[in-house]
Structure 1
Amino acid sequence: MSRTTEPLRIGILSFAHPHVEAYARSLVERGIEVVGTDLPPYDAGTQRGAALAERLGIEYLDDVDAVLARAPHGVIVTAENARHRELVLAAIAAGAHVLCEKPIATEVGDALAMVDAADAAGVSLMTAYPVRFAPSFRELVARVRAGQLGEIVAVSGTNNGKIPLDRSWFTNAAAAGGGALVDHVVHCADLLDELLGEPAQEVYATTNRILHADRGVAVETGGVVSIAYPSGVIATIDCSWSQPDSAATWGGLTLEVHGTNGSMRIDPFAAHLSGYAEGGATWDAFGTDLDGLMIDEFLGAIRESRAPSPDGSVGVRTLAIVDAAKRSVRSGTPVGVLATA
């Protein structure tokens, strides 16, 4: 990779994932030239395509080839999970660095192919895990590495949110790869990957569709995943779509770490003002802009010709945990995690 000193141009492929709005705003706020395109089908009542691009203040082009023809320095892929591989490989073939929305793919084999293609092309592949940029998480990691908690024995994570019915592909197994388990396990798995520094060994998972049963959803809406690591650490993740539609915020994430000398807990999205005002319940976050910090890492890696963090290999390892969880649900037994290196 060569150092880039010219003004950056970033492409966005697909507006399917709602995170695209935060990413695009972060780029525009930083004075980055942004070109994007969307891919149908669109959900009724959800603003997509050229109308969304106009609202976000980015240039809209007709298709993926038109975006890549602009020779963007980097590309952000915010498509349905099942479309990640094709779009990431297209961006890599065009010589662009890539930030791919989580999970990196729906199949481990696809994720490995994406990492291999990026390595062969000499471009970087980054996985979109903004929560690892939270100051509270970074402080937690520093304290754990300093030995304040002694030997880590257990970790408990939660990532709960509203069911994303406004983007119906999230509840389509073919497009998303699954439901709440696929949507929410990976964020906590990324934090575990950074905190523990070792790949997962075995997974036992259980899911159900009790939540939102009246909505005809065919994917899992609630679940718990237990992960065993080679060091003996046991981690659990509650990955349910358990926030009601009436909740003032989308949901949240927490992480508790327990060691032989003590325990610590973080709640990265806790900084907010909440209450009731005209129109109902309010939730106004004022904490650190984690999406913005992640975008800064992506842009910095391009400018400085270095590997971004978290890279595609992290995306593969966290997807391997989801893959094992899905196999465990099917078998009803603990299963081994596929080797990814």
Structure 2
Amino acid sequence: MTAPAPLRIAVLSFAHTHALSYVHALKEMPGVELIATDPDGAAAPDDAPRGAELAAELGVAYVDTYDEAFAWKPDAVVIAAENSRHRALVERAAAAGVHVLCEKPLATTVEDAIAMRDACETAGVLLMVAYPVRFSPAVRDAIAELRSGRLGRILGVTGINNGKLPQDRAWFTDPELAGGGALVDHVVHCADLLDELLGERAASVRAVSNRMLHAQRELSVETGGLVTIQYPGGVVATIDCSWSWPMSSATWGGLTLQVVAERGTVTVSPFAKGVAGHDAHGETWSPVGADLDALLLEEFVRAVRDGRQPQPDAGVGIRTVEIVKAAQASAARDGEVVHL
């Protein structure tokens, strides 16, 4: 039997740090041809490796422009650009008939997210949003346990997604490129898990935020926040989304979700397991367990080959952006409840 033609995938931009692990994962997949481009890297507001230099370190073929990447005629693209640049790249991919995996958040406005979904639907191409945490075996086991009904009705959820200030990629703290600060960066992962767990759109959002953390840097975005979400079924969820881990920490941070049900609680921490120690430079930490980015990419690649819509889809992307924008609006109005 003749082997299927290789799947051609282009990674568009190295702006998001996940792009590095996406390249590693795709390079390990059989039947995938890979190139990358990062034309905005030269203008990045930091000194992190970007562009052809980073491509050489990663061992991936590189082209200089998005035009060249699309001229290569990829079957699919992985978009890891700055948040505000997602829409233009998704719409360009849709116009070229190319399937899309887009980094989270899908967009910096709800209107952009909807336009991206509509462009892909019109073109008949797949659009998946990069929420790797939902692919954690621990998360999937917890959701299956809660859905089994053994613990009864879900009453409330406490989400914590804390981490270091992402100073090595300065665009994360640029309000134009990122669309905000910690509320944008860390709310969406928990919001995605809540979307998958509860299966309903949020009814209202209340949030507070401040810039007390890392105040000496005089950043123009929030560095800490607390978001409360009410769902139509009565569940109340909170998300601590702060950049509160010390810069000296050996790891980026962590995510924990605690679900309180009628007959018990379930707590899941997909990044909690690792090997700790010390070397000449200080504390060390090596995570153990599944490579969530690789699991995400495997699902995307399988879906492209099978011609089916992978999850999380654009609908999830839109609903999570709605929560972020409502949280920003609430925080700007001193915690006023915003209804969706």
Say yes or no: TM over 0.5. yes
Summarize the alignment of residues 230-241 of structure 1 with structure 2, pairs less than 5 Å apart.
Answer: 230-241=232-243
Would the aligned equivalents of 1:14 and 1:79 in 2 still touch at CA under 8 Å? yes
Deviation at 1:148, TM superposition (A): 2.0
Structure 2 matches for 1:300-311, cutoff 5 A?
A: 300-311=302-313
- The correspondence for 1:292, drawn from 287, 291, 294, is 294
In structure 2, distance between residues paired with 1:44 and 1:323:
27
Specify every segment of 5 or more residues in structure 2 that has no aligned partner in the other structure, as ranges.
none
Number of residue-to-residue matches in the alignment: 334
Counterpart for residue 334 of structure 1 = 337
Q: Report the CA distance between 1:83 and its aligned residue.
A: 0.3
- Structure-2-length-normalised TM-score: 0.97
**2:76 aligned partner:** 74
Provide the C-alpha distance between the structure 1 equivalents of 2:84 and 2:46, rounded to a whole number of angstroms.
Answer: 21
Give, in whole Å, the separation in 1 of the partners of 2:311 and 2:137. Answer: 15
Aligned to 2:245: 243
What is the letter of the counterpart of residue 175 of structure 2?
Answer: A
Q: Which amino acid aligns with 1:98?
A: V
- Of 302, 315, 318 in structure 1, the residue corresponding to residue 317 of structure 2 is 315
Structure 1 counterpart of 2:126, from 124, 127, 131:
124
Residue equivalent to 1:185: 187
Taking structure 1 as the reference length, the TM-score comes to 0.96
**Structure 2 counterpart SS, 1:253:** strand
SS in structure 2 at match of 1:62: coil
* Percentage of pairs with the same residue: 54
Q: Is the 8 A contact 1:178 1:220 kept in 2?
A: yes
Partner residue in 1 for 2:166: 164
1:224 to 218, 222, 226: 226
CA distance in 2, matches of 1:94, 1:113: 16
Q: Counterpart amino acid of 1:20? A: A
Shift of 1:277: 2.3
Q: Which amino acid aligns with 2:25?
A: S
Residue pair 2:46, 2:170 contacting (<8 A) in 1 also: no
**Cα distance, 1:253 vs. partner?**
0.3
CA distance in 1, matches of 2:195, 2:39: 32
1:208 partnered with 2:210: yes
Q: Which amino acid aligns with 2:268?
A: I
SS at match of 2:20: helix
Q: Equivalents in 2 of 1:202, 1:110: separation in Å?
A: 21
Moved over 4 A (4+): none
Aligned-CA RMSD value: 1.1
Quote the Cα distance in structure 2 between the aligned partners of 1:166 and 1:284: 20
Aligned-pair CA distance for 1:177: 0.4
Deviation per residue, 1:124-180 (Å, 9 max, x gap) = 000000000001110111111111221101000010111011111110101100000
- Residue 271 of structure 1 deviates from its aligned partner by 1.6
Aligned partners of 1:221, 1:14: CA distance in 2, in Å?
25
Secondary structure in 1 aligned to 2:298? helix
